[in-house]
Amino acid sequence: MNRTDRMYAIVEELRAVAPRPRSATWLAGRFEVSRRTVERDISALQQAGVPVWAEPGRTGGYCLDRARTLPPVNFSPDEAVAVAVALGGVAGTPFAGGASTALRKILAAMRDDDAAAAHDLAARVHLLGAPADRPGVPAVLADAISARRVLRLRYTDREGVPTVRDVEPLGFVGSSTGWYLLAWCRLREAVRAFRLDRVVRATATSERAPRRAVRPEDLQVPEGDLRTLALLD
């Protein structure tokens, strides 16, 4: 193990056990180097601004302030390609733009050789068939949820009747047939789900939407049981 990799590994070891300490003797045995080498590595880390300090005493050692550091996000080539394949499934959803920028960030954070290997691996992955044939989602709709901006929609209902509505965006509902914008409709004075393929035009206003709680029984979506997306199971 070269010195750079060893210093990285020392930081990750201290992060894993924080706030408990690791002694120089323990670290020397773990990385098969001398105690003096560990002390030089720790000194270099401290000079570089890594929040490592020595805790004196019989049970002391080196500690890392985990609250002041973030673990690096490193992806292997196969992990990056797996993420790319998964993100490909969001084409035509409100999150297609976010998926594209997320993948670019992942590749930018990777080492050059790993990024090159990821591109090489991706070139050997072949997908049969085209993505689901759904219209793209206007960026103004995707941004409205996080920005909490009132939207003015020109919308065509199921009978083909066009209306203009000011709505307070609340979220999205995905179904097997498409995506809906979930919003408080000021025209109907109720929560409504607007099919995105029926939105003729959407304009963000300067008005900030108030926070509203939404209950499942408030939703009028024509198919299936609703479930909320969970990032962690």
Model confidence pLDDT, tens digit, residues 118-169 = 888 787 766 645 555 555 567 788 778 778 899 999 999 888 999 999 999 9
State how far the Cα of 144 lies from the Cα of 112, in Å rounded to an integer.
Answer: 36
The residue count of the chain comes to 233
How many Cβ atoms sit within 10 Å of the Cβ of residue 220? 11
Topology (CATH) of 139-218: SH3 type barrels. (2.30.30)
CA 138 to chain CA mean position, Å: 20
Min mean pLDDT across 7-21, 46-60, 87-101, 125-139 is at 125-139
Structure tokens at 17: 């056990």
Band of residue 232 on the pLDDT scale cut at 50, 70, 90? very low
Band of residue 231 on the pLDDT scale cut at 50, 70, 90? very low
Give the residue among 42, 44, 43 at the shortest CA–CA distance from 31: 42
Adjacent-strand bridge partners of 173: 180
Model confidence pLDDT, tens digit, residues 188-224 = 998 888 988 899 999 999 899 998 877 666 665 555 5
Domain ranges of the chain: 3-68, 77-122, 139-218
State residue 72's pLDDT score.
61
pLDDT over 50 at 113, yes or no: yes
Q: Are the C-beta atoms of residues 81 and 122 closer than 8 Å to each other?
A: yes
Structure tokens at 135: 């219209």
Opening angle at CA 171, ends 167 and 174, nearest 5: 120
Question: For the whole model, what pTM was predicted?
Answer: 0.52
Structure tokens at 19: 């706030």
The domain 3-68 is placed in CATH, from the list 1.20.1560.10, 1.10.1370.30, 1.10.10.10, 1.10.10.60, at 1.10.10.10
Adjacent-strand bridge partners of 52: 64
